[in-house]
Structure 1
């Protein structure tokens, strides 16, 4: 099947590497919004692939025969990736999901579309991952825990049993969420932070220990 990658940053580069190594997808191009297209046109290459305008994607490629992965990072608590994901779906394209062969996923059907599961991720029985999520290498979701849509888990992030990560959250490298805890919408949990109780929506938490730094996550640089 033909595939388009939406995004041209570090995540997209790594995703292309794994997709080429692990799948039979024929990656046709990388797509970005017009304002991000390099000038002049001769510079429109990324990882050896042509770059095309996102706004014209439906005109350039047949949604019946082309699938898409939106591979955009966690900036603005994943809202840019969320918007592009929804716009791609509205264009009629099917969005893939990717689970690396070295990930341990108890039930692959419990991972949503446009989600990318890196090597050495562990999703235990009863866990659920929504649409448009990124689970980087070594992250762990314990039994009966839920990661809702549009989340990003950095390497080594850990979620204990029967916890919930609400939509549009970012969990930093080696962060920990204890069991029976809810991390509310649009939270940023910093590297090494330990979350022992429910968080407030839009909270930004540091590693000293899980301290609330503010409630303006969307304008906090990740």
Structure 2
């Protein structure tokens, strides 16, 4: 069991508090945000602390962080907060729902894996990865750091997902695919190519690359 401070005061932080309270052994003790966004002194009945002053009240030696934020700016906003916490000396928990199916997978820190995800054997998950509910993660794959799966995404076997990728609802990825850094596969898109381009946006079925746009321009 860890004593945990959650970063954020928006929906994802509220959900994280619910999941940790109702489906983990961890104890949520406080919330934190950057000082410019701190308008109150509490959230969900717990102290709300300015991130810049967090170490003064919640020592990194005693408390853990959890920052399960959205995928905005192609996960780079979440990465920034994650790295700031690391610089302060904090360790991170991960949350894996008791209603997810996992098979001894290697899962990194600050991951938020919700109910009805299926992670087949021999697939590794990096740090700071979010999997919303109901995804199928195929066998013998690798998901690197700062990746976001929305819901009902199918990732077939033997895929490599590089950092900063984002997958819309009902996206499908064929087996043996290599998705380069920053790939955005849109809602309902079906990737039949074996490889994408860095920071590319792919739409449709079969998925085609959007010309003239980078993923960080779109999301």
Give TM-score scaled by structure 1 length: 0.93
8 Å CA contact retained: 2:68, 2:128: no
**Matched residue of 1:5: which SS?**
strand
**What is the total number of aligned residue pairs between the two structures?**
216
Counterpart residue number, 1:24: 25
Spell out, residue by residue over 1:147-189, the C-alpha distance to the aligned partner (whole angstroms, 9 max, x if none): 1100000011111000111101111111010001111111111
Counterpart residue number, 2:215: 217
Structure 1 distance, partners of 2:214, 2:26, is 39
Moved over 2 A (4+): 43-50
**How far off is 1:51 after superposition?**
1.8
2:58 aligned residue (47, 58, 61): 61
**How far off is 1:209 after superposition?**
3.0
1:178 aligned residue (156, 170, 174): 174
The two structures, once aligned, show a CA RMSD in angstroms of 1.3
Structure 2 distance, partners of 1:181, 1:146, is 11
1:201 aligned residue (176, 198, 203): 198
Query: Does residue 83 in structure 1 map to residue 80 in structure 2?
Result: yes
Over 3 Å counting, the alpha-carbon distance change for 1:47 and 1:205 in structure 2 is farther
Give TM-score scaled by structure 2 length: 0.94
Structure 2 distance, partners of 1:49, 1:188, is 36
**Matched residue of 1:30: which SS?**
strand
**How far off is 1:83 after superposition?**
1.0
Gaps of 5+ in 1: none
Counterpart residue number, 2:103: 106
Structure 2 distance, partners of 1:186, 1:168, is 5
